[in-house]
Structures are given as C-alpha cells and as structure tokens.
C-alpha cells in the first residue's frame, strides 16, 4: 500500500510538473509573434498555438484541416508550400518559404521542423508561421534604395555604374557601342536661388520623370547628382541614339515645367556624349569623358550637345596641368608685366600704358592671359595674381613718373572676382599711397562681367573709386550685353571699344553704324573712347574721322616689356 501511495504521489508530482511546463510553453507561444501548428504522429493529434487565430480565419481540429492553408495563399505559392508543410513526404528537404496572403494581408513565412525516431519514422512536426510583411517591405525598401534614386525614381549613380559595367562586358563580346550622355540643367543655380530649394528639387524631380519616359530596354537613365543626369544607350541605332534623345529633350524644353506652385520654369540643358569603346573602357571614365564634354558645352554658351573627341580631353588635361602650375606660379609670382601704349588719336601723343600680364612657365613657354586668367578666376589664384599686378604696375609707374616729366595714365585690368572683394578699394588706395602716385593717373579696367552682380552695389563702388580720383574704364565693350542704355547709368571715365568691332569696321556697314553711335553716345556722356586692336592705318584714319578719342593697337605699339616701354618715355 505504501508503495502504491508512493507511486500515486510521484504521478501527481510529475503531472504538476508537466502542467507547469505546459503552462510555460503556452505562455511562450502566446507571447511570441508567431503561430504554431504542432502535430504528433504517434497520437495523430494536431494543435495550434500562438497567433494562429490572428493570422488565419479557420481552426485546425483535424490533420486534414491543414490543407485549408493552401486556400488562403496566392496560387503561385500553393505547390511549393505543400512541399514545405509536408516536408516528410516531399523529400525535397525544403523547410521554409514566404507566401503572400490572398486577401492582401501581407506576407507569411512558413518553417517546418520534423522529428524522426531511430528508424527514420516521423514522430512530431512543428510548423512555425510568421507575418513578415513589415520585414519584407523594409527589405523591399532597402532593395529599392540600393537601385533607385528616391528623388527622381531613376537609377541611382552606383547601380547605374554597375549596370554600365555589365553592359560593357556584353558590348565587348558583341562588339557593340554604348553611348553615354551626361545632361546638366543650365543655370540651375538661378532656379534654386530665385525660387528656392524646394522649387529646385521639384524641377529635378520633374525633369528626371521626363527622362524616365525616354528609357527602353536598351536605354537606361540615372540621376548622377544635383541637376546632373546620365543616360546610357546600348547599341544605338538609327531611331534610338543620342541625337534622337537630344531632339526629344529639345522639344520638351520648348515648353516650361509647371511646378506644384503653378510657377512655370523654362530650362535648357547642356549635354556631353562619350562612346564606349572609343572614349573610354570603364564606366567611370566614360561618364567622366561625357562630363568633360558637357562642361565644354557650358563654357561655349550652354544649350547644346557635343560629342567627345580627343582634343577636348587634351584641353581638359592641359587645363588641369595649368591649374597646378598656376598655383605654383602664383605662389612664387612667376609673372611679368608688359605695357601697351595708348595714344590720343589727333596728335598721337602718349595717353597711357595698359599693364598686361604674362606668365612664363618653367619650360619658358609664354602662356597667354586669355588662357590662364579664366583658370585663375576658377581656382581662386586671381586674387594673389591680381594683387601682384596692382602693386608691380603701380611701383613701376611711380618710378617712371618720378623720372619722366610727361604725365600719362596707368591702366590696370581687374577681374570681377577681385573687384567684388570687400577690401578692393581700400587695398588699391593703400598701394597708390604707398608709392605716392596721383590717383587721377591710375585707371582700372573692368569688363561687363562685373556688372552681372548686384548692379546698384557695383555702381556704388564705382562712385567710391571715382570719389578718390581713381579712373574707371569699361573694357571690351561690345562683347557682353552691349547695351547703350545702361551706359548712361554707369559712372565711368573711359570706354574701350572691343577689337572685334575694329576688325570688321571697314568691311561691314552695320558695324560702322554701331561704332559711330557708340562714339557719339559716349561723347555726349562725357566719356572718353578708346579703340582696341587697331592694326591698320585705314582703321586709324576712319576712327580719327569719326572722332574716336584714343587708339591702342599693334599699329602704334605692341605690348612690351617695362624696359622697352621706357624707351618710349625717353623719346
Ligand atoms: P584686354 O584688357 O582687352 O587687353 C587687350 C588685349 O589685346 C591684349 O592681349 C593685347 O595684347 C591685345 N592687343 C592689343 N592690340 C592688339 C592688336 O592690334 N592686335 C591684336 N591681335 N591684339 C592686340 P593680352 O595681353 O593677351 O591680354 C588678353 C586679355 O587678358 C586682356 O584683354 C585682359 O582681359 C586679360 N588680362 C591681361 N592682363 C591682365 C591682368 O593683369 N589682370 C586681369 N584680370 N586680366 C588681364
Ligand atoms: Mg584691358
Ligand atoms: Mg579689351
């Protein structure tokens, strides 16, 4: 009896332990985010736990009920899901998969584990079901982000480069061509500055959307950065090539893009085209080549498409080389000033000297300021170079003025970047005072590019300069906006008529009419006129006849070294 009692107590204790464990497992199941189906082969018993009721609208009472799961998932997943759920029968060893619910409830993952006895017969089976909709959408989002640009919906740069790489491998095998177009919206900064960044972003989006419409099986597009896009055409053909795409872009850009604010924005684009394998054989190099050509388009007046050729690349590389050398030269002041005389037309008396910079590089090549000044303006060297020109020319001029009695004027070319510096006037005055020069004998030459900035501010500065007695000359007149009407508002002393007018003035009656009206106009405003680039006697005679005050040009004197110029003063 004691033995029986003992067995009873043991059984009770074991039952208590079991139900405590069962309770614990049930709690774990309920707390987890999964649904479970447990099947015992031995007892032919099936139970569901966890989130089953939440995931599916039916209960599983019997082993056959499990088949109802197949009615709930989309058709294409039914067969593979059978293999997963009946893992022990399929023999395929597939134990997990993801299916989409038919009623748009999202995605579910199914994972099956089967326990076998020592003879290989299945004992127990557990199917774990999880709602993976959120994970899946996060994953899809990541996949999307890895391939596409969120702003435009076009491919992103990285993926585009990968695709281009794959296409290049294919093109090499198939001996095909790939055209790459780099497309940049002209003057995008004006949209951003004028209408705000949000409008700018919307424009990028709208134009990107338009480019997306141009894509086909062999044409793919990406958003490179800011307002720059890239299109690649695999195996361009007669009806699908860069030229065709350009025509479509030109047609579209004839009409404005309408922003959500109802503002209309008109744009033009500059496009550079480079082709595999001619221009380059790696994706980045090919894009780079097209980019270089695109920048060439920009520098040549924008709103155009150009094709890559070797000379463009050479110019580009030369510019980089010049850029580096120029920084070096600016550091050591490896420059020289030449002086070109200016004469009064009537009596051919010396009126002044224009200081013109020369750069002799270390190989003794003379590099023209028309080549290096634009580079210096871009890389910032123009500031130290400009400071050097001002000090060196004024120092030389002061020595001449001390030595020679005849007064004349020193003209100094000043870049817009220099002119726009806050301390420009003060530092110029400092040098003028340092060398005890009369400000009335110093003239600064500005070009119309200065006037692009805030017009009123530019004028205020001109007034300050002139208030100190410094003369101001407007250089290269006729090459910029060439508007006679704004001349009235400009407080200047001298106007230099550009060489391009003088070159054609004898042959072209329209140029004569313009030149004469410029001279009459400035005369009436009390401004002196200088004709630049006078090379022939006939030009001189004509300019004399129409009342041009002064002449500068090879006919009467080329730019020359300080020593050579001094002989002019001597005589
Ligand atoms: P610019 O100020 O219009 O100077 C006149 C240019 O025309 C000079 O070219 C001069 O050599 C050239 N020239 C004068 N007469 C004749 C002629 O009869 N025939 C021909 N074919 N050319 C003539 P350069 O010295 O090459 O200077 C070119 C430009 O570089 C200048 O044009 C000026 O814009 C810029 N520059 C020169 N020196 C400086 C400088 O110190 N600072 C800045 N910012 N720019 C400078
Ligand atoms: Mg000049
Ligand atoms: Mg000029």
Three-class SS of 214-273: CCECCEEEEEEECCEEEEEEECCECCECHHHHHHHHHHHCCCCEECCCCCEECCCEEEEE
Do residue 421 and residue 554 come from a single domain? yes
Is 161 in the same domain as 114? no
Q: Which ligand has the nearest atom to the CA of 376?
A: 1
Q: What is the pLDDT of residue 425?
A: 95
Q: Are residues 156 and 125 in the same domain?
A: no
Q: Is residue 5 part of a domain?
A: no
- pLDDT at position 53 is 86
The CA–CA distances, whole Å, from 50 to 30, 39, 451 equal: 4, 15, 76
Q: How far is the CA of 476 from the centre of ligand 3 (A)?
A: 4
Q: How far apart are CA 112 and CA 68, in angstroms?
A: 17
Specify if 143 maps to a domain.
Answer: no
Structure-token pair, residue 547:
């009342």
Indicate if ligand 1 lies below 6 Å from the C-beta of 554.
yes
Task: Give pLDDT, residue 480.
Answer: 67
Claim to verify: residue 465 and residue 504 sit in the same structural domain: yes
d(CA 426, CA 47): 92
Q: Which two tokens mark 571?
A: 């005589």
Ligand nearest to the CA of 339: 1
pTM, rounded to two decimals: 0.63
- pLDDT, residue 482, reads 58
- Tokens coding 551: 């002449």
Say if residue 158 is in the same domain as residue 118. no
Instruction: Give yes or no for residue 106 CB within 6 A of ligand 1.
Output: no
Instruction: Spell out which residues have Cβ within 5 A of ligand 3, the ion.
Output: 475-476, 532
Owning domain of residue 362: 320-570
> Closest ligand 1 atom, CA of 382?
44
302 with 377, same domain? no
Nearest residue (by CA) to ligand 1, atom 8, is 356
Residue 391 confidence (pLDDT): 97
Rg (the chain; Cα; Å):
41
Is 70 in contact with 82 (CB distance < 8 Å)? Answer: yes
Q: Is residue 472 part of a domain?
A: yes
356 alpha carbon to ligand 1 midpoint, in Å? 6
Asked if 44 and 113 sit in the same domain, the reply is: yes
How do the pLDDT tens digits run along the chain, 571 residues long? Answer: 567 777 777 778 777 766 777 788 878 877 888 999 999 988 888 999 888 888 888 888 888 899 999 999 999 999 999 999 998 887 776 689 999 998 888 899 999 999 998 888 899 999 999 999 988 888 888 888 889 998 999 999 999 999 999 999 999 999 999 999 999 999 999 888 888 989 999 999 999 999 999 999 999 999 999 999 999 999 999 889 999 999 999 999 999 999 999 999 999 999 999 999 999 999 999 999 999 999 999 988 899 999 999 888 888 888 888 889 999 888 888 999 999 999 999 999 999 999 999 998 878 888 899 989 988 998 899 999 999 999 999 999 999 999 998 999 999 999 999 999 999 999 999 999 999 999 999 999 999 888 877 788 889 999 999 999 999 999 999 876 656 777 888 999 999 999 999 999 999 999 999 999 999 999 999 999 999 999 999 999 999 999 999 999 999 999 999 999 999 998 7
Structural domain count, the chain: 3
* CATH number assigned to the domain comprising residue 280: 3.30.70.270
By alpha-carbon position, which residue is closest to atom 33 of ligand 1? 413
Per-residue model confidence (pLDDT) at position 481: 63
Q: Give residue 239's pLDDT.
A: 84
73 with 167, same domain: the answer is: no
Ligand 1 pocket member 413 (CB < 6 A): yes
């Amino acid at each position: 009896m004691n033995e029986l009692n003992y067995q009873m107590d043991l059984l009770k204790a074991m039952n208590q332990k079991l139900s405590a464990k069962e309770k614990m497992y049930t709690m774990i199941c309920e707390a987890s985010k999964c649904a479970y189906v447990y099947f015992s082969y031995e007892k032919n018993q099936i139970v569901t736990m966890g989130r089953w009721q939440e995931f599916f609208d039916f209960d599983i009472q019997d082993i056959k009920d499990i088949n109802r799961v197949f009615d709930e998932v989309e058709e294409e997943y039914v067969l593979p899901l059978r293999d997963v759920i009946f893992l022990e029968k399929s023999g395929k060893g597939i134990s997990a998969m993801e299916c989409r619910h038919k009623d748009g409830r999202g995605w579910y993952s199914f994972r099956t584990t089967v326990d076998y006895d020592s003879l290989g017969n299945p004992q127990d089976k557990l199917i774990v079901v999880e709602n993976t909709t959120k994970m899946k959408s996060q994953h899809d989002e990541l996949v999307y982000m890895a391939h596409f640009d969120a702003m435009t919906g076009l491919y992103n740069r990285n993926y585009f480069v990968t695709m281009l790489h794959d296409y290049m491998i294919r093109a090499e095998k198939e001996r095909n061509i790939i055209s790459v177009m780099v497309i940049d919206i002209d003057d995008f900064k004006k949209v951003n500055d004028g209408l705000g960044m949000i409008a700018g972003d919307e424009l990028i989006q709208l134009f990107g959307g338009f480019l997306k419409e141009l894509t086909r099986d062999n044409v793919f597009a990406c958003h490179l950065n800011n307002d720059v896009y890239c299109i690649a055409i695999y195996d361009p053909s007669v009806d699908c090539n860069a030229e065709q795409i350009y025509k479509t872009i030109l047609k579209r850009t004839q009409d404005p893009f309408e922003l959500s604010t109802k503002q209309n924005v008109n744009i033009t684009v500059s496009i550079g085209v480079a082709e595999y394998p001619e221009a380059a054989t790696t994706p980045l190099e090919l894009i780079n080549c097209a980019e270089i050509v695109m920048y060439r388009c920009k520098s040549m007046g924008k709103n155009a498409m150009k094709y890559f050729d070797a000379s463009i690349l050479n110019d580009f590389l030369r510019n980089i080389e010049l850029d580096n050398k120029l920084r070096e030269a600016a550091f050591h002041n490896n420059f020289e000033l030449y002086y070109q005389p200016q004469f009064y037309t009537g009596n051919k008396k010396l009126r002044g000297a224009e200081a013109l910079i020369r750069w002799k590089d270390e190989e003794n090549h003379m590099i023209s300021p028309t080549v290096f000044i634009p580079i210096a303006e871009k890389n910032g060297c123009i500031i130290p170079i400009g400071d050097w020109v001002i000090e060196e020319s004024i120092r030389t001029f002061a020595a001449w003025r001390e030595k020679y009695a005849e007064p004349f004027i020193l003209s100094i070319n000043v870049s817009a970047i220099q002119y726009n510096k806050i301390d420009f006037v003060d530092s110029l005055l400092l040098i003028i005072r340092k060398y005890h020069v009369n400000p009335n004998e110093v003239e600064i030459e500005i070009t119309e590019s200065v006037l692009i900035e805030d017009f009123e501010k530019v004028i205020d500065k001109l007034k300050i300069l002139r208030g100190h007695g410094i003369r101001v000359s407007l250089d290269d007149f006729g090459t910029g906006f060439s508007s006679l009407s704004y001349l009235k508002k400009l407080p200047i002393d001298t106007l230099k008529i550009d060489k391009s007018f003088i070159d054609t003035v004898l042959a072209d009656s329209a140029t004569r009419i313009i030149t004469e009206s410029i001279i009459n106009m400035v005369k009436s405003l009390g401004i002196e006129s200088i004709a630049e680039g006078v090379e022939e006697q006939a030009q001189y005679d004509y300019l004399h006849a129409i009342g041009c005050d002064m002449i500068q040009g090879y006919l009467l004197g080329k730019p020359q070294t300080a020593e050579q110029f001094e002989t002019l003063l001597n005589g």
